[in-house]
Chains A and B, each alone.
Chain A
Amino acid sequence: MAKEKEESVQISRRTTRSSATAYNNNGIESAKPNVSHTPTLDDLVFGQEPISLDDLLSSFPGRRVQILELLRLLGTINSSMPPLFIYGSASTGKTSIVLQIFRRLSRPFVYTSCLSCYSPRILFESILNQLLLHKKNAVNGYSSAKRCEKPSDFVNLLREALTNVIDSLKANLGKTSTTKLKGQVNGRMIYLIFDKFELVREWDKSSSILSFLFGLCDILKMAEVGVIFISNNSLDTYHSNTGYVEPIPVHFPEYTEDDLRQIFMRNQANRKLYSSFLDVVLRPFCRITRRVDELSTAFSMLFKKYCEPLNDLGVVPNEEMKRRLFSHLQPHVAPSLNERFRIASQPSLDCEVNQETRRKGSARKSGASGDLDEIDFHMSTSAKYLLISAFLASRNPATLDASLFDSTGGSDSRKRKRKASEKSIEQKEAAEQELLMKGPGTFSLERLLAIFQCITSVAEDLLGEEEEGNDKLGVELGSNTLMSDVLLQLTSLCNSNFIIKGGSCPLEGSTRYRSTVSEDLSLKVARSVKFPLSKYLYRR
């Protein structure tokens, strides 16, 4: 659930707390007196009002079975547990459900994500920091409490830290069993949660780290420690040399269409209106994806469009109005299905652009993705030529450059084409297959610049012949042939991923480049500068 995730991110779980809670620190002395806030064991729980079971179930529609199963496996207070392995595809609510369950139980836990802790050392130190209630700040120079790189050191330090924490939990248990305060530690169990566990497989020496982490429970041999792994991929994708004892698997399936409807209906101001909107869009979108995060970005934009004819958003739609809204939305559904789901970094800006294009009545939304079109607009002319020449350099074999770019400006290419098409069909197919597999070819900087010079000179000629009046562009091009400028443009094209820098050539030692632009886009760019690109393309 995207919304729930956002919420839980916003909650400053272990950051500074109001001083009110600092009063009832339960006798655990902080090692650092100069820090204004003394961290306590309470920092290891979720840090918010525990929620009731009904709230928990209702806030995650379609996850009833999984939540109840997890609660049963976690068991009553103080009961030990073998390692759990929670898996399911992205955006099915694994992390947020586990965190909310711990909020309900208010038991202490240590949460680490293998995404932010991207190496064993950082993972180990992050766990120890949380257990030792150590916070990186300016006073300690943002260093960790303990420095440890090897699993062997980690296990010793971890055992020590866990023993301390469990001892104080037990002491707590004896003291405050009668009065229960908000957000107070519950029980003597402590849980280690590893999120995004599938990423560990890509680490160095992943095989030994994997079997170490899977075996952590057996190595520690502490009944008070529970280990929970959260992963995108199932257990059978984890390989290690001599295997491991499998943790208990819990599967989170993808949401069904009905679940998705319930999820999207939550927190809607006008439920009737939104439900009639979902009637229109949910089914076709579900055929493409059932991921909540992708759907919610697509729906938020479509819903705005759906509401456009309405003056009052609080209105309860009747049959006739539904029909009217449907016919208003209908033309937008199919193109938005074919649009790449956008991650709206600046949704307001995006919408404006959309509206503008609509007002102009241009039909450019139909084809390729919108954002590439936008970049196309803002590109300078020389950058466009550079893009075209990079595309040509990637597409055409280097041996044909001389004949394509001779003084006659590519008129020779047609003969070449005919010659090539005389080859037998099988050979042609094989070559085509090879091209498909190889993708765009690489080229050296010199070749790119040579082609660039050729096509800009050709373009000047063309412009001189056809458009007498527009000599402004010609002047601009003339000044753009400066080397330093072109190199700068090349760097910016590289940075925006239109051209990728490949490895250096082993023979020449110079850097090789590769264009990633599709044919459609380069044709479009060529059209915008009136460059006859198809004349220069070598067809097999």
Chain B
Amino acid sequence: MRTPFTIRVLAAMPRSGWIAMGLFAAITLVLMPALHLFVPEGHPFHVSNYVITLGGKIMCYAIVAVAMDLVWGYAGILSLGHGMFFALGGYAFGMYLMRGIGTDGSYQSHLPDFMVFLDWKELPWYWAGSDSFVLTLILVLAVPSLVAFVFGYFAFRSRIKGVYFAIITQALTFAAMLLFFRNETGFGGNNGFTDFKRILGYDITSPEMRATLFALSALALMLALLAGRYLATSKFGRVLAAIRDAESRVMFIGYNPLHYKLFIWTFSAMLCGIAGALYVPQVGIINPGEMSPANSIEIAIWVAVGGRGTLIGPIIGAGLVNGFKSFFTVAFPEYWLFFLGALFVGVTLWLPEGVVGLWKRIRARVAA
């Protein structure tokens, strides 16, 4: 008899995992938004704009970390270009936000300001439909997935892996950054998109909108984690891990690694796109800097710090590293990159399994 799908999803996480997720949901979907909206400013329990935005931002990063862990931790594909998929999702949603400004921009034109500045008279063809919210949502999912699918198909078919794959993805995100830097590309050049006003007619800076975006980010993160857990505990995940460890053997048993890699790679890119689309309205800007190689490397560091192949680890890693970053870039801005480098070296040397590995070791020691 077939086991119902819902039961399979339920089986993807242990009971403790579901309890933790329930708690997380209560805090992020109810408690934090409520404290932000209904507790007056100045009250000790008020959650400020800063905290809500920072929290939302970090949760978007955490989605990217989950996406990265799926390809790196489970399929053994190290990507140093995941920042590009994140930015593509961000740009796709950014187009909608730019159109949402309407005539409230500096030049009071129907065109986005940067186009007026470039003396463009009408929208380029690829901006068609960018004022439709539904179409934008489709674009957010489709653009990163399509780019990932096409690139992945050729890369995996040619059996490119390991360092070579990492370098090519790095080059890819760098090339994309250069492309988006050009004014003629039609995405605002090096300034990118900013000065957003509204989503679906609602003010983007209102507390309600902030709380909504925060809760949506949390929801997306939980769904990403659940999807990741389902994939990892399914037979698909076991085949993926087998491909990571001994690809030719997997082929010999009769699996085609190309399809497996391509699926997880495309899915991962799609998650990044969703994260990017949630990120942009919260931080209020998207520019080609998001595609810089350093950003993509940082994603890999989150995953390494948290612990590869654990899914929950990368979420913790994204939170920790970005928490440090928020502190460092304010306290000692010039030392942040040194700290990040030292962190990566330290984790590689002493914590090969990241924070989650450390936690497991501590528990084993306590139990012994």
Binding partners A and B: no
User: Which residues of A come within 8 Å of B, CB atoms?
Assistant: none
